[in-house]
C-alpha cells in the first residue's frame, strides 16, 4: 500500500488540475521519499501519464561555441577560471550546425538546439544562429531551440522571428545556493533572461543541475522559482564531476536520489515538460529507463557539451521497448 501522505497529495494533483503543491507539502514529500522512494516514484508516474500521456520527446544539442567562458560556474569545464582539458573553438559555421541538426534528426531527435559558451553572443554570432534556425524551421520538422546565454529584448524577438520556438536558459540551482556556484553574475540576470524570452513569445526551457551540494529544501526552492516564472519545460541535469573544475571531487548522486529529484519536480510541475539531460548515464547507470517511471517525459540524446552520451540508437530502442510513443512536443 502506498504511503498515505504521498498518495493523498498525488490524488489531489490528479483530481484538481490547477492544484499547486505548497512548499510545506514539498518539504514533506522530500522527507518521506527518503523512507518511501518507490511510493514517491510510482505516484509521480501516475501524474505524468494523466497529464502528458504516454508520449515522450527527445532533445539533441551541439556545443556550437566551446570554452573560454568568462563566468566561474563551479561545475563547468568551459569556464576560463578552470583547468579542464577541453577543446575550445569559436562559433561553428552555419553549414556545420545545419548538418549536425540533420544527423541528429535522423538519429531520432525531435528537438534541436545549438548551445554556446560565454555570457552572450555578438551581433555576427547571432546572425549565424538565426540563419540556422530559419533553415531548420523551413526544411525540417524539428522543434528549433537555442541556448545562447543572456538575452536582450531585441535578441529574443529576433530569435522568435527566425523560427526558434523555445529558448533554453538554466538557473542551475536555488537562489540561496547560487553564490556557492557562481560569483561572476547575479541570479537576477538569469531570471531576467527567462522573463525576456517569455515576453518575446518564446517558450522557455529552464532547469537545474542536481548534486551541486544543495539541500532538499533548496531543490524545492528552485522548483518553486521555476513555477513562479511559469517556464514551459524543465531540464534536469546531474553533476558530472569533471577534472579541473571546482566540483571535481564531489560524489555522484545515487540512482535513487536522482530519481527522487525527478519525481519531486513532477509533483511540483504536473503539466510541464520535464527532460532528463546531462550525466544521466554516469548517475543512473542501469536505471536510465526509470526516468519515465519517475515522471520525466523528455530525454536528451546524443552527446552533451564536453562529455559523451551513449548512442542515440540505444535511447530510441529503450523508448520503444518501454512501449512509449515518441514524438515532437
Q: How confident is the model at residue 329 (pLDDT cuts 50, 70, 90)?
A: low
Q: Could you give the CA distance from residue 221 to residue 215 in angstroms, rounded to a whole number?
A: 10
Return the pLDDT at 132.
Answer: 98
Return the pLDDT at 313.
Answer: 97
Residue-wise pLDDT for 2-39, tens only, equals 799 999 999 999 999 999 999 999 999 999 999 999 99
Q: Could you give the CA distance from residue 56 to residue 133 in angstroms, rounded to a whole number?
A: 23
Q: Which three cell numbers stand for residue 287?
A: 536505471
Return the pLDDT at 304.
Answer: 96
Q: Could you give the CA distance from residue 204 to residue 147 in angstroms, rounded to a whole number?
A: 10
Give me the residue spans of the domains in the chain. 51-326
Return the pLDDT at 2.
Answer: 77
Q: How confident is the model at residue 207 (pLDDT cuts 50, 70, 90)?
A: very high
Phi first, then psi, for residue 90 (nearest 5°) are -80, 180
The model's pTM is: 0.97
Residue among 205, 206, 183, 171 at smallest CA distance from 72? 183
- Cross-strand pairs, 210: 238
Alpha-carbon distances, residue 277 vs 5, 51, 81 (angstroms): 30, 21, 24
CB distance 39 to 7 below 8 Å:
yes
Domain 51-326, CATH 3.20.20.70 — does that match?
A: yes
Residue-wise pLDDT for 246-266, tens only, equals 999 999 999 999 999 999 999
Return the pLDDT at 101.
Answer: 98
Q: How confident is the model at residue 209 (pLDDT cuts 50, 70, 90)?
A: very high
Q: How confident is the model at residue 327 (pLDDT cuts 50, 70, 90)?
A: confident
Residue-wise pLDDT for 270-323, tens only, equals 999 999 999 999 999 999 999 999 999 999 999 999 999 999 999 999 999 999
Q: How confident is the model at residue 328 (pLDDT cuts 50, 70, 90)?
A: low
Q: Could you give the CA distance from residue 38 to residue 19 in angstroms, rounded to a whole number?
A: 23
Return the pLDDT at 1.
Answer: 67
Residue-wise pLDDT for 160-205, tens only, equals 999 999 999 999 999 999 999 999 999 999 999 999 999 999 999 9
- Percent of the chain's residues with pLDDT above 90: 98
Amino acid at each position: 500500500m502506498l504511503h498515505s501522505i504521498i498518495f493523498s497529495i498525488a490524488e489531489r494533483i490528479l483530481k484538481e488540475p490547477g492544484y499547486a503543491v505548497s512548499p510545506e507539502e514539498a518539504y514533506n514529500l522530500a522527507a518521506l521519499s527518503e523512507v518511501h522512494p518507490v511510493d514517491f516514484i510510482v505516484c509521480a508516474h501516475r501524474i505524468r501519464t494523466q497529464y502528458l500521456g504516454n508520449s515522450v520527446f527527445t532533445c539533441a544539442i551541439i556545443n556550437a561555441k566551446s570554452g573560454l567562458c568568462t563566468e566561474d560556474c563551479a561545475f563547468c569545464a568551459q569556464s576560463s577560471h578552470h583547468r579542464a582539458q577541453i577543446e575550445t573553438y569559436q562559433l561553428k559555421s552555419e553549414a556545420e550546425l545545419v548538418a549536425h541538426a540533420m544527423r541528429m534528426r535522423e538519429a531520432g531527435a525531435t528537438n534541436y538546439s545549438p548551445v554556446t559558451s560565454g555570457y552572450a553572443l555578438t551581433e555576427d554570432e547571432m546572425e549565424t544562429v538565426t540563419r540556422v534556425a530559419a533553415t531548420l524551421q523551413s526544411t525540417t520538422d524539428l522543434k528549433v531551440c537555442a541556448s545562447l546565454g543572456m538575452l536582450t529584448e531585441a535578441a529574443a524577438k529576433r530569435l522568435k522571428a527566425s523560427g526558434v520556438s523555445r529558448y533554453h536558459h538554466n538557473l542551475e540551482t536555488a537562489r540561496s545556493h547560487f553564490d556557492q556556484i557562481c560569483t561572476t553574475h547575479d541570479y537576477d540576470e538569469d531570471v531576467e533572461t527567462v522573463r525576456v524570452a517569455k515576453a518575446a513569445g518564446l517558450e522557455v526551457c529552464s532547469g537545474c543541475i542536481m548534486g551541486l551540494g544543495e539541500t532538499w529544501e533548496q531543490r524545492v526552492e528552485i522548483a518553486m522559482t521555476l513555477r513562479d516564472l511559469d517556464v514551459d519545460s524543465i531540464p534536469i541535469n546531474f553533476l558530472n564531476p569533471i577534472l579541473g573544475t571546482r566540483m571535481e571531487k564531489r560524489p555522484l548522486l545515487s540512482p535513487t536520489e536522482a530519481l527522487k529529484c525527478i519525481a519531486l519536480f513532477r509533483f511540483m510541475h504536473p503539466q510541464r515538460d520535464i527532460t532528463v539531460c546531462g550525466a544521466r548515464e554516469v548517475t543512473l547507470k542501469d536505471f536510465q529507463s526509470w526516468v519515465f517511471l519517475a515522471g520525466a517525459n523528455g530525454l536528451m540524446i546524443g552527446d552533451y557539451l564536453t562529455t559523451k552520451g551513449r548512442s542515440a540508437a540505444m535511447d530510441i530502442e529503450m523508448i520503444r521497448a518501454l512501449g512509449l510513443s515518441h514524438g515532437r512536443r
